[in-house]
């Protein structure tokens, strides 16, 4: 079993951990932290590594549990994210293959961030043709007996993640960028994305 945060179209390393596990436990009882993949992901545009960020509703003076965080739709970020993905990846080999399945994420307004992230996970698992059961935590436990992948949600981590190169849309101009959103891998590798994930190494 692997313990992970539900994140927004997760970084590739998170799905490397998932394909090597038999069950997923999603951490939802922790305190929400800013500047993590919980509400952001990185894609590859013509200008290089690009941030897609989901604005959230902040509460004054008190910490929020991850499961209680609500999304802020005042700025139509969802339409902007979809447009950015279309601009960045419309020439990728498998963009048309997946985009219709992805559009509901950007057309529906989810109340809670966790619900949106779990829907992103469901769509990704369907694209990878993977069926691995998941559960959500019922309390926060700092030390766990299973593989703890909660750190994969840390977007500012200095830990080097070694992933094998694959062709990216703009890599001839900007070079290979590892560990982007799983969307980058899907749009570029399509059905071969699962094989790519299975061939990466991670320390369990």
Confidence grade of residue 158 (pLDDT, cut at 50, 70, 90)? confident
pLDDT tens for 110-125 read: 999 999 999 999 999 9
Task: Average the pLDDT over 41-55 and give the result.
Answer: 97
Render pLDDT for 98-108 as a digit per residue (tens, 0 to 9).
Answer: 999 999 999 99
Q: Provide the pLDDT for residue 204.
A: 47
Which residue carries 């899907």 as its tokens? 186
For 126-141, write each residue's pLDDT tens digit: 999 999 999 999 998 8
CA distance 140 to 162: 29
Distance, CA of 126 to chain centre:
14
pTM: 0.95
pLDDT for 81: 98
Give CA–CA dist 65/60, Å, rounded. Answer: 13
Map residue 83 onto helix, strand or coil.
helix
Please write the tens of the pLDDT for every residue from 56-88.
Answer: 998 776 789 999 999 999 999 999 999 999 999
pLDDT of residue 73: 95
Mean pLDDT, the chain, integer = 94
What is d(CA 129, CA 149) in angstroms, rounded to the nearest whole number? 22
The CA distance from 81 to 87, in Å, is 10
């Amino acid at each position: 079993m692997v313990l992970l945060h539900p994140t927004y179209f997760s970084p590739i390393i998170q799905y490397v951990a998932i394909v090597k596990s038999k069950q997923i436990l999603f951490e939802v009882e922790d305190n929400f932290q800013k500047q993590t993949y919980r509400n952001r992901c990185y894609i590859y545009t013509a200008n290089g590594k690009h941030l897609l960020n989901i604005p959230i509703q902040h509460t004054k003076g008190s910490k929020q549990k991850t499961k209680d965080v609500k999304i802020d739709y005042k700025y139509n970020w969802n339409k902007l994210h979809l447009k950015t993905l279309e601009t960045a990846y419309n020439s990728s080999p498998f963009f048309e293959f997946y985009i219709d399945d992805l559009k509901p994420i950007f057309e529906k307004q989810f109340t809670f961030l966790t619900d949106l992230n779990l829907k992103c996970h469901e769509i990704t698992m369907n694209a990878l043709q993977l069926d691995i059961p998941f559960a959500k935590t019922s309390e926060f436990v700092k030390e766990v007996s299973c593989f703890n992948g909660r750190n994969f949600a840390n977007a500012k981590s200095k830990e080097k993640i070694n992933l094998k190169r694959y062709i990216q849309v703009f890599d001839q101009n900007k070079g290979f960028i590892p560990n982007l959103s799983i969307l980058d891998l899907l749009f570029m590798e399509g059905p071969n994305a699962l094989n790519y994930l299975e061939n990466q190494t991670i320390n369990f």
